[in-house]
Amino acid sequence: MATFDIAGIVQSLHETRHHWRQSNSRNSEAGNRKFPSRDALSAILDCLKGVLFPMRLGPLDLRQESENFHVAHALDAALHALLKQVTRELAYNAGLRGEAGRPVDEEALAIVHRFAAALPEIRRLLDSDVLAAYQGDPAASSVDEVLLCYPGVLAMIHYRLAHELYGLGLPLLARIVSELAHSTTGIDIHPGARIGAGFFIDHGTGVVIGETAVIGARVRVYQAVTLGAKRFPKDGHGTLQKGLPRHPVLEDDVVIYAGATILGRITVGQGAVIGGNVWLTHDVPPGGRIVQAESREGALANGIGGT
Protein backbone atom coordinates (compact mmCIF):
# COMPACT_ATOMS: atom_id res chain seq x y z
CA MET A 1 0.00 0.00 0.00
CA ALA A 2 1.37 3.40 -0.94
CA THR A 3 2.28 5.80 1.84
CA PHE A 4 2.85 9.55 1.76
CA ASP A 5 4.66 11.94 4.05
CA ILE A 6 1.43 13.69 5.05
CA ALA A 7 2.77 15.08 8.32
CA GLY A 8 5.86 16.54 6.66
CA ILE A 9 3.86 18.15 3.84
CA VAL A 10 1.32 19.60 6.29
CA GLN A 11 4.15 21.10 8.36
CA SER A 12 5.81 22.53 5.27
CA LEU A 13 2.54 24.09 4.09
CA HIS A 14 2.02 25.54 7.57
CA GLU A 15 5.46 27.14 7.47
CA THR A 16 4.80 28.55 3.99
CA ARG A 17 1.48 30.07 5.07
CA HIS A 18 3.07 31.50 8.22
CA HIS A 19 5.88 33.10 6.21
CA TRP A 20 3.39 34.65 3.75
CA ARG A 21 1.23 36.05 6.57
CA GLN A 22 4.23 37.53 8.32
CA SER A 23 5.64 39.12 5.16
CA ASN A 24 2.23 40.55 4.24
CA SER A 25 1.26 41.70 7.77
CA ARG A 26 -1.61 39.22 7.87
CA ASN A 27 -0.90 37.55 11.21
CA SER A 28 -4.19 38.95 12.54
CA GLU A 29 -6.06 36.35 10.44
CA ALA A 30 -7.18 34.29 13.41
CA GLY A 31 -10.45 32.41 13.79
CA ASN A 32 -12.82 31.30 11.04
CA ARG A 33 -12.65 31.97 7.30
CA LYS A 34 -13.64 35.59 6.66
CA PHE A 35 -13.87 35.75 2.88
CA PRO A 36 -17.03 35.58 0.78
CA SER A 37 -17.73 32.20 -0.76
CA ARG A 38 -17.58 31.68 -4.54
CA ASP A 39 -19.83 28.62 -4.24
CA ALA A 40 -22.41 30.53 -2.18
CA LEU A 41 -22.43 33.37 -4.71
CA SER A 42 -22.91 30.91 -7.56
CA ALA A 43 -26.03 29.56 -5.86
CA ILE A 44 -27.27 33.11 -5.18
CA LEU A 45 -26.76 34.03 -8.84
CA ASP A 46 -28.74 31.00 -10.00
CA CYS A 47 -31.55 32.05 -7.67
CA LEU A 48 -31.48 35.67 -8.86
CA LYS A 49 -31.61 34.59 -12.51
CA GLY A 50 -34.84 32.77 -11.70
CA VAL A 51 -36.13 35.89 -9.96
CA LEU A 52 -35.34 38.12 -12.94
CA PHE A 53 -36.62 35.66 -15.59
CA PRO A 54 -38.83 33.19 -13.71
CA MET A 55 -40.58 31.54 -16.65
CA ARG A 56 -37.34 30.95 -18.57
CA LEU A 57 -34.60 30.61 -15.95
CA GLY A 58 -36.74 29.54 -12.98
CA PRO A 59 -37.89 26.04 -11.96
CA LEU A 60 -38.90 23.63 -14.71
CA ASP A 61 -42.36 23.05 -13.24
CA LEU A 62 -43.18 26.74 -12.64
CA ARG A 63 -46.61 27.88 -13.83
CA GLN A 64 -47.45 31.50 -14.60
CA GLU A 65 -50.23 31.64 -11.99
CA SER A 66 -47.66 30.87 -9.27
CA GLU A 67 -44.95 33.10 -10.71
CA ASN A 68 -45.17 35.82 -8.07
CA PHE A 69 -45.15 33.26 -5.26
CA HIS A 70 -41.96 31.72 -6.64
CA VAL A 71 -40.31 35.12 -7.13
CA ALA A 72 -41.15 36.16 -3.57
CA HIS A 73 -39.83 32.93 -2.07
CA ALA A 74 -36.68 32.81 -4.22
CA LEU A 75 -35.93 36.51 -3.74
CA ASP A 76 -36.24 36.24 0.04
CA ALA A 77 -33.86 33.28 0.08
CA ALA A 78 -31.37 34.96 -2.27
CA LEU A 79 -31.29 38.23 -0.33
CA HIS A 80 -30.78 36.51 3.02
CA ALA A 81 -27.96 34.45 1.53
CA LEU A 82 -26.47 37.57 -0.07
CA LEU A 83 -26.64 39.40 3.24
CA LYS A 84 -24.23 36.85 4.74
CA GLN A 85 -21.77 37.36 1.91
CA VAL A 86 -22.03 41.16 2.08
CA THR A 87 -21.37 41.01 5.82
CA ARG A 88 -18.29 38.91 5.16
CA GLU A 89 -16.87 41.36 2.64
CA LEU A 90 -17.55 44.39 4.83
CA ALA A 91 -15.85 42.69 7.78
CA TYR A 92 -12.92 41.70 5.55
CA ASN A 93 -12.59 45.27 4.23
CA ALA A 94 -12.73 46.64 7.78
CA GLY A 95 -9.89 44.33 8.76
CA LEU A 96 -7.76 45.56 5.85
CA ARG A 97 -8.28 49.12 7.13
CA GLY A 98 -7.21 48.13 10.64
CA GLU A 99 -10.81 48.22 11.92
CA ALA A 100 -11.24 44.52 12.66
CA GLY A 101 -14.24 43.91 14.89
CA ARG A 102 -16.13 47.00 13.74
CA PRO A 103 -19.89 46.22 13.60
CA VAL A 104 -21.03 45.94 9.97
CA ASP A 105 -24.45 44.28 10.27
CA GLU A 106 -26.53 47.45 9.82
CA GLU A 107 -24.40 48.62 6.90
CA ALA A 108 -24.71 45.21 5.23
CA LEU A 109 -28.50 45.22 5.60
CA ALA A 110 -28.78 48.71 4.11
CA ILE A 111 -26.64 47.66 1.13
CA VAL A 112 -28.75 44.58 0.42
CA HIS A 113 -31.92 46.72 0.61
CA ARG A 114 -30.45 49.03 -2.06
CA PHE A 115 -29.40 46.09 -4.20
CA ALA A 116 -32.89 44.59 -4.03
CA ALA A 117 -34.49 47.91 -4.96
CA ALA A 118 -32.29 48.04 -8.09
CA LEU A 119 -33.48 44.66 -9.46
CA PRO A 120 -36.42 46.04 -11.51
CA GLU A 121 -34.12 48.47 -13.33
CA ILE A 122 -31.59 45.68 -13.88
CA ARG A 123 -34.36 43.58 -15.44
CA ARG A 124 -35.29 46.50 -17.75
CA LEU A 125 -31.68 46.87 -18.88
CA LEU A 126 -31.38 43.13 -19.47
CA ASP A 127 -34.56 43.19 -21.54
CA SER A 128 -32.88 45.77 -23.79
CA ASP A 129 -29.77 43.56 -24.05
CA VAL A 130 -31.81 40.49 -24.96
CA LEU A 131 -33.78 42.43 -27.56
CA ALA A 132 -30.56 43.86 -29.05
CA ALA A 133 -29.18 40.33 -29.42
CA TYR A 134 -32.37 39.06 -31.05
CA GLN A 135 -32.61 41.99 -33.46
CA GLY A 136 -28.89 41.99 -34.21
CA ASP A 137 -28.46 38.32 -35.06
CA PRO A 138 -30.28 36.88 -38.09
CA ALA A 139 -29.62 33.38 -36.71
CA ALA A 140 -31.73 34.05 -33.60
CA SER A 141 -35.21 32.56 -33.90
CA SER A 142 -36.67 34.05 -30.69
CA VAL A 143 -35.86 36.11 -27.63
CA ASP A 144 -36.22 32.90 -25.62
CA GLU A 145 -33.41 31.30 -27.62
CA VAL A 146 -31.24 34.35 -27.00
CA LEU A 147 -31.83 34.29 -23.25
CA LEU A 148 -31.37 30.55 -22.88
CA CYS A 149 -28.43 30.03 -25.24
CA TYR A 150 -26.32 33.11 -25.90
CA PRO A 151 -23.13 33.44 -23.83
CA GLY A 152 -23.13 37.22 -24.31
CA VAL A 153 -26.51 37.48 -22.61
CA LEU A 154 -25.37 35.28 -19.71
CA ALA A 155 -22.31 37.49 -19.31
CA MET A 156 -24.51 40.59 -19.28
CA ILE A 157 -26.80 39.16 -16.58
CA HIS A 158 -23.77 38.64 -14.39
CA TYR A 159 -22.31 42.02 -15.35
CA ARG A 160 -25.49 43.98 -14.57
CA LEU A 161 -25.73 42.37 -11.13
CA ALA A 162 -22.00 42.69 -10.49
CA HIS A 163 -21.97 46.35 -11.53
CA GLU A 164 -24.65 47.11 -8.96
CA LEU A 165 -22.63 45.37 -6.24
CA TYR A 166 -19.52 47.25 -7.36
CA GLY A 167 -21.33 50.57 -7.09
CA LEU A 168 -22.47 49.64 -3.59
CA GLY A 169 -18.87 49.31 -2.43
CA LEU A 170 -18.46 45.53 -2.73
CA PRO A 171 -15.65 45.05 -5.28
CA LEU A 172 -14.75 41.53 -4.17
CA LEU A 173 -18.30 40.19 -4.43
CA ALA A 174 -18.71 42.00 -7.75
CA ARG A 175 -15.52 40.52 -9.15
CA ILE A 176 -16.50 37.00 -8.10
CA VAL A 177 -19.88 37.40 -9.82
CA SER A 178 -18.17 38.60 -13.01
CA GLU A 179 -15.58 35.82 -12.92
CA LEU A 180 -18.29 33.17 -12.59
CA ALA A 181 -19.52 34.29 -16.00
CA HIS A 182 -15.98 34.66 -17.36
CA SER A 183 -15.13 31.06 -16.52
CA THR A 184 -18.30 29.85 -18.26
CA THR A 185 -18.43 32.09 -21.33
CA GLY A 186 -14.87 33.30 -21.97
CA ILE A 187 -16.20 36.88 -21.76
CA ASP A 188 -14.33 39.06 -19.25
CA ILE A 189 -16.24 42.20 -18.23
CA HIS A 190 -14.91 44.10 -15.24
CA PRO A 191 -17.83 45.10 -12.99
CA GLY A 192 -16.55 48.67 -12.84
CA ALA A 193 -17.15 49.25 -16.56
CA ARG A 194 -20.17 51.40 -17.44
CA ILE A 195 -22.35 49.89 -20.16
CA GLY A 196 -25.51 51.45 -21.56
CA ALA A 197 -28.75 49.80 -22.63
CA GLY A 198 -29.05 47.46 -25.59
CA PHE A 199 -25.51 46.04 -25.48
CA PHE A 200 -24.95 43.00 -27.71
CA ILE A 201 -21.90 40.72 -27.63
CA ASP A 202 -22.11 38.40 -30.64
CA HIS A 203 -20.45 34.99 -30.18
CA GLY A 204 -18.47 36.45 -27.32
CA THR A 205 -15.45 34.23 -26.69
CA GLY A 206 -12.36 36.25 -25.84
CA VAL A 207 -14.08 39.61 -25.29
CA VAL A 208 -12.32 41.74 -22.66
CA ILE A 209 -13.79 44.97 -21.26
CA GLY A 210 -11.67 46.85 -18.73
CA GLU A 211 -12.62 48.48 -15.45
CA THR A 212 -12.88 52.10 -16.61
CA ALA A 213 -14.41 51.48 -20.04
CA VAL A 214 -17.51 53.53 -20.83
CA ILE A 215 -19.95 52.13 -23.40
CA GLY A 216 -23.01 53.96 -24.69
CA ALA A 217 -26.37 52.64 -25.84
CA ARG A 218 -26.96 50.13 -28.64
CA VAL A 219 -23.31 49.17 -29.00
CA ARG A 220 -22.42 45.84 -30.65
CA VAL A 221 -19.11 43.97 -30.36
CA TYR A 222 -18.00 40.63 -31.76
CA GLN A 223 -15.74 37.88 -30.44
CA ALA A 224 -12.14 38.55 -29.33
CA VAL A 225 -12.64 42.31 -28.99
CA THR A 226 -10.47 43.97 -26.34
CA LEU A 227 -11.23 47.31 -24.70
CA GLY A 228 -8.01 47.60 -22.76
CA ALA A 229 -5.41 49.94 -21.33
CA LYS A 230 -2.42 51.16 -23.34
CA ARG A 231 -0.17 51.84 -20.37
CA PHE A 232 -0.22 51.48 -16.60
CA PRO A 233 1.03 54.60 -14.78
CA LYS A 234 3.05 54.10 -11.58
CA ASP A 235 3.54 56.35 -8.59
CA GLY A 236 6.86 57.52 -7.19
CA HIS A 237 7.38 54.17 -5.46
CA GLY A 238 6.87 52.18 -8.64
CA THR A 239 3.42 50.95 -7.61
CA LEU A 240 0.66 50.81 -10.20
CA GLN A 241 -1.87 53.62 -9.77
CA LYS A 242 -5.33 52.12 -9.56
CA GLY A 243 -8.67 53.56 -10.65
CA LEU A 244 -7.35 56.02 -13.24
CA PRO A 245 -9.38 56.29 -16.49
CA ARG A 246 -7.36 54.11 -18.86
CA HIS A 247 -9.88 52.27 -21.05
CA PRO A 248 -11.80 53.39 -24.16
CA VAL A 249 -15.05 55.33 -24.36
CA LEU A 250 -17.51 54.03 -26.97
CA GLU A 251 -20.35 56.37 -27.80
CA ASP A 252 -23.84 55.24 -28.86
CA ASP A 253 -24.38 52.89 -31.83
CA VAL A 254 -20.74 51.87 -32.25
CA VAL A 255 -19.98 48.51 -33.92
CA ILE A 256 -16.67 46.70 -33.34
CA TYR A 257 -15.90 43.62 -35.42
CA ALA A 258 -14.06 40.47 -34.39
CA GLY A 259 -10.50 40.65 -33.12
CA ALA A 260 -10.27 44.43 -32.79
CA THR A 261 -8.03 45.74 -30.00
CA ILE A 262 -8.83 49.24 -28.75
CA LEU A 263 -6.45 50.60 -26.14
CA GLY A 264 -6.19 53.63 -23.91
CA ARG A 265 -8.54 56.44 -22.92
CA ILE A 266 -9.64 57.20 -26.46
CA THR A 267 -13.12 58.00 -27.73
CA VAL A 268 -14.84 56.12 -30.54
CA GLY A 269 -17.55 58.50 -31.73
CA GLN A 270 -21.25 57.80 -32.19
CA GLY A 271 -22.09 55.43 -35.01
CA ALA A 272 -18.45 54.58 -35.80
CA VAL A 273 -17.55 51.14 -37.16
CA ILE A 274 -14.24 49.46 -36.30
CA GLY A 275 -13.20 46.65 -38.63
CA GLY A 276 -11.91 43.22 -37.69
CA ASN A 277 -8.40 42.78 -36.26
CA VAL A 278 -7.80 46.54 -36.04
CA TRP A 279 -5.26 47.78 -33.48
CA LEU A 280 -6.57 51.19 -32.42
CA THR A 281 -4.98 53.75 -30.09
CA HIS A 282 -6.40 57.06 -31.36
CA ASP A 283 -9.80 58.77 -31.33
CA VAL A 284 -12.34 58.04 -34.03
CA PRO A 285 -14.85 60.76 -35.02
CA PRO A 286 -18.60 60.12 -35.06
CA GLY A 287 -19.56 58.02 -38.06
CA GLY A 288 -15.94 57.04 -38.71
CA ARG A 289 -14.97 53.81 -40.46
CA ILE A 290 -11.66 52.22 -39.49
CA VAL A 291 -10.11 49.20 -41.20
CA GLN A 292 -6.63 47.75 -40.79
CA ALA A 293 -4.82 50.02 -43.26
CA GLU A 294 -6.46 53.17 -41.85
CA SER A 295 -5.65 52.07 -38.32
CA ARG A 296 -1.99 51.67 -39.22
CA GLU A 297 -1.85 55.11 -40.86
CA GLY A 298 -3.40 56.67 -37.77
CA ALA A 299 -0.94 54.87 -35.50
CA LEU A 300 2.04 56.04 -37.54
CA ALA A 301 0.73 59.62 -37.48
CA ASN A 302 0.70 59.38 -33.68
CA GLY A 303 4.26 58.05 -33.54
CA ILE A 304 3.31 54.46 -32.78
CA GLY A 305 4.89 51.56 -34.66
CA GLY A 306 6.84 51.90 -37.86
CA THR A 307 10.38 50.82 -38.57
- DSSP secondary structure of 236-255: TTSPBPPS---S-EE-TT-E
- Residue 148 falls within a domain, yes or no? yes
The pTM (predicted TM-score) of the whole model is 0.89
- Among 281, 199, 200, residue whose Cα is nearest residue 247: 281
pLDDT tens per residue, range 229-267: 998 777 777 777 777 899 999 999 999 999 999 999 999
Domain count, the chain: 2
Low-confidence stretches of the chain (pLDDT < 70) are: 27-33, 293-307
* Residues 165 and 80 reside in one and the same domain: yes
- Residue 72 falls within a domain, yes or no? yes
* Residues 160 and 219 reside in one and the same domain: no
* Residues 76 and 147 reside in one and the same domain: yes
- Residue 230 falls within a domain, yes or no? yes
* Residues 273 and 172 reside in one and the same domain: no
* Residues 131 and 72 reside in one and the same domain: yes
Last residue of a domain, one of 186, 221, 236: 186
Q: Any idea what the CATH number is for the domain that residue 129 is in?
A: 1.10.3130.10
Q: Any idea what the CATH number is for the domain that residue 226 is in?
A: 2.160.10.10
pLDDT tens per residue, range 52-91: 999 999 999 989 999 999 999 999 999 999 999 999 999 9
Query: Which whole-number Å values give the CA distances from 114 to 79, 94, 118, 209, 248, in the listed order?
Result: 11, 20, 6, 26, 29
Domain assignment of residue 91, given as a range: 35-186
* Residues 76 and 44 reside in one and the same domain: yes
- Residue 202 falls within a domain, yes or no? no
